[in-house]
Amino acid sequence: MSSYFNAVIFCTKRKKEKISSLYILKTSLCVYLLYKIFSIRRKYMMPFKKHHCQLGLGSDSMLLKKPGLWANLYRSMRKMCQVAQYHPDTYDHFRSYPAVVAERQRQLYEGDKNLIHPLSLVSLCWHTIMAFVNLMHMFISTLRLFFVLTPPRTQTVHAIDKVLLAFHALCFLDILFNFNIGYTEKEYSHIVMKRRKIVCHYLRRWFLLDLASCLPVAFVLLYLDLKDTQCLLFAHILPLLRTPRLYTALIDVKVFTKIFTRSYIWYGMMRHAVLFVMTAHWCTCFVYLPPVLCYYWYGKIPWKYNRFLKDPDRDLWNIDLQNRYRKGMFIVLSSFFGTGFSMFRASEPEEIVIHALIILYSAMFMVYTLVLLLKVYMTTYSSTVRYHELMNQVEVWNLNHLLIITYIKKRR
Q: What is the pLDDT of residues 316-343, one digit of tens each?
A: 767 788 888 888 888 888 888 876 655 6
- A 10 A CB-CB count for 392 gives 10
Residue 313 has pLDDT above 90, yes or no: no
User: Rounded mean pLDDT of 218-241?
Assistant: 88
Maximum distance among all alpha carbons in the chain?
121
**pTM for the complete prediction?**
0.75
Domain boundaries, the chain: 2-48, 81-266, 286-375
For residue 283, the surrounding DSSP H or E stretch is helix 264-287
Residue 1 has pLDDT above 80, yes or no: no
Asked which of 110-119, 270-279, 313-322 is least confident by mean pLDDT, the reply is 313-322
- Which of 113-117, 125-129, 289-293, 309-313 shows the highest mean pLDDT? 125-129
For residue 336, the surrounding DSSP H or E stretch is helix 321-336
User: Rounded mean pLDDT of 148-152?
Assistant: 80
- H helices of 90-120, in order, are 90-93, 97-109
Handedness of CA 79, 85, 91, 94 (dihedral sign): positive
Residue 112 has pLDDT above 60, yes or no: yes
Tell me the pLDDT of the chain averaged across its residues: 78
User: Rounded mean pLDDT of 206-229?
Assistant: 89
User: Rounded mean pLDDT of 89-99?
Assistant: 82
Q: What is the pLDDT of residues 156-197, one digit of tens each?
A: 888 999 999 999 999 999 999 999 998 888 765 788 888 899
What is the structure's pLDDT at 79?
Answer: 81
Q: What is the pLDDT of residues 235-245, one digit of tens each?
A: 999 999 999 99
Q: What is the pLDDT of residues 278-294, one digit of tens each?
A: 999 999 999 888 888 88
Selection from 221, 258, 223, 254 nearest residue 237 by Cα? 221
Report the C-alpha gap between 267 and 67 in whole angstroms. Answer: 45
The fraction of the chain above a pLDDT of 90, given in percent, is 25
Report the C-alpha gap between 193 and 148 in whole angstroms. Answer: 44
Q: Which residue has the higher pLDDT, 189 or 139?
A: 139
The fraction of the chain above a pLDDT of 70, given in percent, is 74
Residue 73 has pLDDT above 80, yes or no: yes
| DSSP state letter for 241 | G
Handedness of CA 35, 39, 42, 44 (dihedral sign): negative
Q: Where are the beta strands (DSSP E) in 158-245?
A: 183-185, 190-192
Residue 226 has pLDDT above 90, yes or no: no
pLDDT band at residue 31 using 50, 70 and 90 as cut-offs:
low
Report the C-alpha gap between 223 and 288 in whole angstroms. Answer: 26
User: Rounded mean pLDDT of 336-364?
Assistant: 78
What is the structure's pLDDT at 343?
Answer: 61
DSSP string across 304-318: SS-GGG--SS--GGG
pLDDT band at residue 8 using 50, 70 and 90 as cut-offs:
very low
What is the structure's pLDDT at 241?
Answer: 93
